[in-house]
């Protein structure tokens, strides 16, 4: 799984490495990170749903050998209209927060989505999660709507969206 | 797997018994299945989607399986262990239980599950145990149960509570779907007796009368509970005694007791700690067991029951009473404009789901159909029974010689809505209900079908639906309200086409000529599409559409959806939409449409006779005076025009302020990695472009 965390260990941006999800052997790492940090419970089915269909949209961050972050996404056609990417989970170990790890993970995932002809990216975040909101707004996401008592703990959520510019191919494609 | 394998065959047929259920180990089956699946693959169907994945529950996982938390003891086991004593309850304990039930009820209104709040009380689950030993608490529990039933009924029929959790985890609790006869005849005298017995304290008497029906009943019972609290609050001795009991149970110092509403930013751990403490203290009263109903929760993730503090609960109940009172103010409304103002004013209160449900229930047309007739008959039957039992004269407004007949009629009315023998069913809907009469008044159309042509009739039918949807949207919680206003634009876009058809129809044009509207109809369709020849009905629709769009945008500020760098473009678009409202109001005012489709010629004054000695010049007939309703309509349009002009100017001023702040570097533009300001503009106002809205014309980034 990774070396036990050392509270006194200094983590800097230069020591962080990133790579794509490579297969089943990464699943325990992903589950461990998400289960420890996020309040919403996810079953094995949820992990497999994302990682089985969109493994290339999952990125992991490591500090040396220790996994410190993960982002899990999907990309499909939304309501038979736009190709929409969705950031399902983003987790960064507490020791590595505030160092741009989360931003870099999201950046990589969005870049991969753009290569998959994504037209917009969406996600939900708790209204009280100032860190996440600042991260996504720094990447250009806007707060599209507010969802009442979205989470099991009763907290509202913001639906954040990022509209991507159309590529030349998408602009010239005939509309339905 | 090539064949269906019987479970017993695979696992060797061993079964386990426990708790009335039969358990079969399937480890062997899964081992066989595992051999056929490659690494990472799941057994799934083609329809396996994110919804199915997120809906899956891992049984036994504490984070996902609500039944895994808390005690496994049944209600009867807990009672046998003495968790809810009925003998020897002191007055202080009784008051504590009553107060805690009140707090739980308020918490339920605000999103906590009924099974985890009010019915976490063993006394509420088994109230009959109290009948002989504690009649006061028994009456109180029956009253709480009755208000819960009534509130749930009201919320279900108010149809504005889909996202709220008020109906969550109700199955299995002892509350039926229909309101039962409210036991206020038994409960309130007992409550009055309790307040009278408080030392030297006078009743404050809030003066709310029982109006009949669920709205008045909810207000009445809750006011009685609030009245009791005021009595307790005015008695320092009782308050101190109660506080010391609660503190001793919590093991806290009296000065640190009770929860607080002061939750600062960045103190999440302290907030959670306080919430945990409040949670623990909420269930420390006699008879409260936090997870007593967990067996009812089913295979679902656990939800935290957020119990309010006592102060917050009373503040909520007090405000709810006020909001219910304001909801009933709709009975004084006459006319569409007044109704819109009432709804907008009520929406701004940001009332809780109970009050909003009451407000919408009173406005919605279905509230005045068979269901209301049934409730009326049921109430009359109950009052007659109560009067007969107490030997007092019947106070019901209609004679009820045969109560059983009325009760049977009410029951049959509930089932099929066809209780023709009930005179209440023949009563027409009140004048404030969104129906054809009020909408025809809004558009100055005649109410009688066919008077302005079939296209106008179809248009009227459509705007009844659209306005009803709008009213419902306005009474949702603000998050959902904003989304529904956006989706309602599809309705308005569709209705605009109906309005154009009606404006162009021969029958409608002929009607406007008969009624002497100051509108010159277009010569042909091409001219009709010219913005300089707006039809009266399409102009009205454009005004309503612009109002919905503007409200949708302004709600974004309340929901904190905008960053400071976006304020300028949002205020700019608001100013445009308010400008559209101003212009359309002025255009409608210029048409001078008589209200109700009456002809102005019928109200013209006779010519003045000539003076003595003069031949009497041919008198010029004076301008016909408008009737009162037409004058009111015209005045309303002018007021709308002035108000929207003022608001539009304010928005433009704010745009200039934002631009100045940007130039000063105080509100810089964000650094955009993946898109530009154009995409942000398009995304922010995409809602106005997605439906085929013709008017008001959607604004592009270039403008």
Angstroms from B34 CA to nearest CA on chain A: 15
Report which DSSP code applies to B420.
Answer: T
Contact between chains at B559 and A163 (C-beta distance less than 8 A): no
Residues in chain A closer than 8 A to B306 (CB atoms): 154
- Determine the pLDDT at residue B232: 36
How far is Cα A93 from Cα A91, in angstroms, rounded to an integer? 7
Contact between chains at A43 and B483 (C-beta distance less than 8 A): no
Query: Quick check: B537 and B545 in contact, CB under 8 A?
Result: no
Contact between chains at B563 and A46 (C-beta distance less than 8 A): no
- Determine the pLDDT at residue B109: 92
Query: Quick check: B109 and B308 in contact, CB under 8 A?
Result: no
Report which DSSP code applies to B364.
Answer: S
Q: Which two tokens stand for residue A23?
A: 């297969």
A76 touches B: beta carbon within 8 Å: no
- Picking from B219, B224, B222, B215, the residue whose alpha carbon sits closest to that of residue B376 is B215
How far is Cα B406 from Cα A126, in angstroms, rounded to an integer? 52
Strand partners, B264: none
Angstroms from B198 CA to nearest CA on chain A: 39
Phi, psi of A91, rounded to the nearest 5 degrees: -135, 135
Mutate to test the interface with A, among B49, B485, B570, B683 (most CBs of A within 10 A): B683
A59: three-class secondary structure by DSSP: strand
- Determine the pLDDT at residue A136: 95
Residues 19-58 of A with CB under 8 A from B: 23-24, 27, 41-46, 48-49, 51-52
Contact between chains at B165 and A149 (C-beta distance less than 8 A): yes
**Closest residue, chain B, to A161 (C-alpha):** B683
Strand partners, B121: B288
A127 touches B: beta carbon within 8 Å: yes
How far is Cα B49 from Cα A45, in angstroms, rounded to an integer? 10
A120 touches B: beta carbon within 8 Å: yes
- Determine the pLDDT at residue B162: 73
Mutate to test the interface with A, among B30, B356, B479 (most CBs of A within 10 A): B479
- Looking at chain A, list the stretches that DSSP marks H as alpha helix, in order from N- to C-terminal side: 27-37, 44-53, 101-115, 130-138, 168-172
Angstroms from A126 CA to nearest CA on chain B: 13
Distances in whole angstroms, Cα of residue B590 to Cα of each of B601, B635, B637: 18, 12, 10
Report which DSSP code applies to A166.
Answer: P
- Determine the pLDDT at residue B117: 92
- Determine the pLDDT at residue B197: 52
Smallest Cβ distance to A148: which of B63, B477, B683? B477
Phi, psi of A88, rounded to the nearest 5 degrees: -80, -45
Name the burial class of residue A158, with classes exposed (0-12), middle (13-18) and buried (19+) by CB atoms within 10 angstroms of its CB. Answer: buried
Q: Which two tokens stand for residue B33?
A: 């299945």
pLDDT tens string B488-541: 999 999 999 999 889 988 899 999 888 888 888 877 767 666 666 678 999 999
Angstroms from B48 CA to nearest CA on chain A: 8
pLDDT tens string B201-221: 333 433 333 333 444 445 555
Contact between chains at A142 and B563 (C-beta distance less than 8 A): yes
- Picking from B695, B407, B687, B379, the residue whose alpha carbon sits closest to that of residue B541 is B695
- Determine the pLDDT at residue A34: 92
A108 or B370, greater pLDDT: A108
- Looking at B12-134, list the stretches that DSSP marks H as alpha helix, in order from N- to C-terminal side: 27-36, 50-55, 75-80, 91-109, 122-125
Report the pLDDT averaged over residues B111-119: 89
Q: Which two tokens stand for residue B608?
A: 């003045």
Single pTM value for the model: 0.76
- Determine the pLDDT at residue B359: 93
Contact between chains at B40 and A24 (C-beta distance less than 8 A): yes
Residues in chain A closer than 8 A to B479 (CB atoms): 145-148, 156
Angstroms from A127 CA to nearest CA on chain B: 9
**Closest residue, chain A, to B268 (C-alpha):** A128
Is the pLDDT assigned to residue B262 strictly greater than 80? no
Report the pLDDT averaged over residues A118-147: 94
| Exposure class string for B529-547: b at 16+ Cβ within 10 A, else e | eeeebbbbbbbbbbbbbbb
In the block, tokens 């229909």 appear at B178
Smallest Cβ distance to A162: which of B50, B566, B675? B675
- Determine the pLDDT at residue B368: 67
Strand partners, B21: B18
- Picking from B330, B281, B344, the residue whose alpha carbon sits closest to that of residue B307 is B281
Is the pLDDT assigned to residue B307 strictly greater than 60? yes
Torsion region of B159: left, alpha or beta (phi above 0 gives left; psi -120 to 50 gives alpha): left
Is the pLDDT assigned to residue B328 strictly greater than 70? yes
In the block, tokens 């799984």 appear at A1
A78 touches B: beta carbon within 8 Å: no
CA B336 and chain centroid, separation: 20
Range name among B128-132, B557-561, B647-651 with the lowest pLDDT average: B128-132
Residues in chain B closer than 8 A to A120 (CB atoms): 683
Q: Which two tokens stand for residue B49?
A: 């989607």
Contact between chains at B477 and A107 (C-beta distance less than 8 A): no
B422 or B157, greater pLDDT: B157
Distances in whole angstroms, Cα of residue B579 to Cα of each of A67, B421, B455, B582: 56, 53, 29, 5
What CA dihedral angle connects B410, B416, B419 and B420, to 10 degrees?
170
- Determine the pLDDT at residue B255: 37
Contact between chains at A147 and B42 (C-beta distance less than 8 A): no
Q: Which two tokens stand for residue B118?
A: 């009010």
Is the pLDDT assigned to residue B112 strictly greater than 60? yes
Report the pLDDT averaged over residues B454-475: 93
- Determine the pLDDT at residue B254: 34
DSSP string, B514-525: HTT-S----SSH
pLDDT tens string B53-66: 787 777 777 777 77
B223 or B296, greater pLDDT: B296
Report the pLDDT averaged over residues B146-150: 88
Angstroms from B41 CA to nearest CA on chain A: 7
Torsion region of A154: left, alpha or beta (phi above 0 gives left; psi -120 to 50 gives alpha): left
Other Cβ atoms less than 10 A from the Cβ of A79: the count is 6
Angstroms from B651 CA to nearest CA on chain A: 21
A171 touches B: beta carbon within 8 Å: no
Distances in whole angstroms, Cα of residue A17 to Cα of each of A38, A70, A101, B71: 22, 12, 9, 46
Q: Which domains does chain A have, with CATH numbers?
A: 14-171 (3.40.630.30)
**Closest residue, chain A, to B476 (C-alpha):** A148
Q: A with B: how many residue pairs have Cβ under 8 Å apart?
A: 117
Q: What is the number of H-type helices and E-type strands within chain B?
A: 25, 2
Query: Quick check: B540 and B499 in contact, CB under 8 A?
Result: yes
Contact between chains at A46 and B674 (C-beta distance less than 8 A): no
**Closest residue, chain A, to B54 (C-alpha):** A46
A175 touches B: beta carbon within 8 Å: no
Residues in chain A closer than 8 A to B164 (CB atoms): 148-149
Contact between chains at A45 and B303 (C-beta distance less than 8 A): no
Contact between chains at B683 and A161 (C-beta distance less than 8 A): yes
Angstroms from B680 CA to nearest CA on chain A: 7
CA distance between the termini of chain A:
49
Smallest Cβ distance to A156: which of B61, B479, B670? B479
In the block, tokens 């036991």 appear at B183
**Closest residue, chain A, to B672 (C-alpha):** A140
Angstroms from B460 CA to nearest CA on chain A: 32
Range name among A35-49, A113-127, B7-21, B59-73 with the lowest pLDDT average: B7-21
Residue A95: pLDDT band (50, 70, 90) is: confident
How far is Cα B521 from Cα B538, in angstroms, rounded to an integer? 12
Residues whose CB is less than 8 angstroms from the CB of residue B553 and which lie 6 or more positions away in sequence, other chains included: B570, B573, B574, B577
Smallest Cβ distance to B58: which of A27, A43, A145? A43
Contact between chains at B483 and A149 (C-beta distance less than 8 A): no
Residues in chain A closer than 8 A to B667 (CB atoms): none
As a whole-number percent, the residues of chain A with pLDDT over 90 amount to 62
pLDDT tens string B581-617: 999 999 999 888 887 654 444 333 444 555 544 444 5
- Determine the pLDDT at residue B259: 35
Is the pLDDT assigned to residue B660 strictly greater than 50? yes
How far is Cα B253 from Cα B247, in angstroms, rounded to an integer? 7
- Picking from A166, A152, A112, A158, the residue whose alpha carbon sits closest to that of residue A135 is A158
Residues whose CB is less than 8 angstroms from the CB of residue B615 and which lie 6 or more positions away in sequence, other chains included: none
Mutate to test the interface with B, among A45, A51, A74 (most CBs of B within 10 A): A45
Smallest Cβ distance to B480: which of A142, A148, A164? A148
A165 touches B: beta carbon within 8 Å: yes
Mutate to test the interface with A, among B169, B671, B679 (most CBs of A within 10 A): B679
Smallest Cβ distance to A140: which of B63, B560, B670? B670
Report the pLDDT averaged over residues A150-172: 82
Q: What angle do CA B136, B137, B142 make, to 5 degrees?
A: 100
**Closest residue, chain B, to A110 (C-alpha):** B674
Q: Which two tokens stand for residue B649?
A: 């100017």
Residues in chain B closer than 8 A to A134 (CB atoms): none
Is the pLDDT assigned to residue B244 strictly greater than 60? no
Is the pLDDT assigned to residue B618 strictly greater than 60? no
Query: Quick check: A120 and A161 in contact, CB under 8 A?
Result: yes
Report the pLDDT averaged over residues B421-428: 52
């Amino acid at each position: 799984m990774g070396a036990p965390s050392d509270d006194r260990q200094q983590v800097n941006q230069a020591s962080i490495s990133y790579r794509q999800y490579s297969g089943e052997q990464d699943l325990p790492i992903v589950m461990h990170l998400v289960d420890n940090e996020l309040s919403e419970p996810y079953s094995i089915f949820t992990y497999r749903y994302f990682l089985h269909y969109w493994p290339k949209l999952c990125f992991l961050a490591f500090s040396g050998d220790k996994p410190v972050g993960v982002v899990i996404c999907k990309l499909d056609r939304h309501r038979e209209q736009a190709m929409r990417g969705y950031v399902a989970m983003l987790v960064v170990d507490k020791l590595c927060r505030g160092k741009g790890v989360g931003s870099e993970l999201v950046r990589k995932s969005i870049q991969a989505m753009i290569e998959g002809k994504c037209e917009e990216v969406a996600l939900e975040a708790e209204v009280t999660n100032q860190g996440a909101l600042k991260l996504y707004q720094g990447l250009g996401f806007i707060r599209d709507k507010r969802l009442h008592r979205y989470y099991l703990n009763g907290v509202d959520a913001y639906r954040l969206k990022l509209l991507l510019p159309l590529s030349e191919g998408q602009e010239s494609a005939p509309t339905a | 797997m090539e064949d269906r394998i019987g479970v017993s065959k695979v696992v060797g047929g061993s079964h386990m018994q426990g708790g009335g259920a039969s358990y079969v180990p399937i480890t062997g089956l899964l081992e066989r299945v595992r051999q056929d699946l490659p690494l990472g693959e799941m057994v799934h169907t083609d329809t396996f989607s994110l919804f199915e994945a997120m809906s899956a529950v891992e049984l036994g996982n504490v984070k996902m399986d609500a039944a895994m938390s808390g005690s496994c003891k049944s209600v009867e086991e807990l009672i046998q262990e003495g968790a809810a004593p009925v003998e020897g309850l002191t007055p202080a304990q009784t008051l504590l239980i009553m107060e805690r039930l009140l707090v739980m009820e308020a918490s339920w209104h605000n999103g906590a599950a009924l099974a985890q709040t009010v019915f976490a009380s063993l006394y509420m689950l088994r109230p009959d145990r109290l009948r002989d030993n504690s009649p006061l608490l028994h009456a109180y529990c029956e009253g709480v149960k009755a208000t819960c039933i009534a509130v749930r009924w009201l919320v279900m029929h108010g149809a504005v509570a889909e996202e709220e959790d008020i109906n969550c985890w109700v199955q299995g609790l002892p509350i039926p779907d229909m309101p039962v006869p409210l036991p206020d005849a038994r409960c309130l005298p007992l409550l009055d007796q309790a307040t009278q017995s408080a030392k030297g304290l006078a009743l404050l008497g809030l003066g709310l009368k029982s109006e009949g029906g669920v709205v008045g009943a909810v207000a009445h019972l809750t006011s009685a509970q609030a009245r009791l609290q005021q009595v307790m609050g005015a008695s320092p001795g009782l308050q101190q005694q109660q506080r010391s009991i609660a503190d001793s149970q919590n093991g806290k110092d009296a000065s640190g007791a009770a929860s607080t509403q002061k939750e600062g930013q960045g103190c999440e751990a302290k907030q959670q700690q306080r919430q945990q403490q409040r949670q623990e203290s909420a269930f420390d009263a006699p008879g409260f067991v936090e997870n007593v109903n967990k067996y009812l929760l089913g295979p679902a993730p656990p939800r935290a029951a957020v119990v309010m503090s006592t102060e917050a609960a009373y503040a909520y109940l007090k405000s709810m009473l006020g909001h219910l009172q304001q909801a009933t103010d709709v009975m004084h409304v006459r006319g569409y404009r007044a109704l819109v103002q009432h709804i907008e004013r009520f929406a701004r209160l940001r009332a809780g789901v109970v009050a909003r449900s009451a407000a919408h229930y009173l406005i919605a047309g279905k509230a005045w159909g068979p269901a209301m007739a049934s409730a009326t008959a049921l109430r009359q039957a109950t009052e007659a029974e109560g009067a007969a039992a107490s030997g007092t004269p019947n106070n019901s407004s209609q004679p009820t010689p045969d109560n059983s007949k009325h009760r049977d009629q009410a029951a049959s009315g509930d089932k099929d809505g066809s209780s023709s023998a009930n005179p209440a069913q023949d009563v027409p809907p009140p004048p404030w209900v969104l129906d054809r009469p009020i909408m025809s008044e809004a558009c100055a159309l005649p109410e009688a079908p066919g008077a302005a042509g079939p296209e106008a009739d179809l248009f009227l039918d459509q705007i009844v639906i659209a306005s009803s949807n709008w009213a419902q949207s306005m009474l949702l919680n603000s998050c959902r309200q904003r989304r529904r206003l956006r989706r309602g634009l599809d309705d308005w876009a569709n209705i605009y086409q109906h309005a154009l058809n009606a404006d162009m129809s021969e029958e409608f044009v002929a009607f406007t000529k008969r009624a002497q509207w100051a509108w010159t109809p277009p010569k042909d369709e091409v001219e009709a599409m010219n913005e300089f020849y707006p039809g009266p009905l399409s102009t009205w629709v454009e005004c309503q559409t612009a109002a919905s769009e503007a409200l949708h945008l302004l709600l974004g500020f309340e929901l904190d959806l905008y960053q400071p760098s976006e304020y300028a473009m949002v205020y700019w678009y608001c100013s445009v939409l308010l400008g559209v409202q101003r212009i359309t109001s002025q255009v409608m005012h210029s048409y001078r449409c008589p209200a109700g489709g009456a002809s102005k010629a019928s109200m013209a004054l006779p010519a003045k006779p000539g003076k003595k000695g003069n031949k009497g010049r041919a008198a010029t007939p004076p301008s016909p005076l408008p009737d009162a309703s037409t004058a009111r309509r015209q005045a309303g349009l002018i007021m709308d025009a002035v108000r929207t002009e003022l608001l539009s100017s304010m928005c433009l001023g704010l745009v200039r302020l934002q631009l100045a702040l940007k130039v000063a570097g105080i509100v810089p533009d964000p650094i955009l990695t993946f898109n530009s300001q154009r995409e942000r503009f398009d995304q922010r106002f995409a809602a106005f472009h997605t439906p085929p809205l013709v008017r008001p014309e959607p604004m592009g980034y270039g403008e």
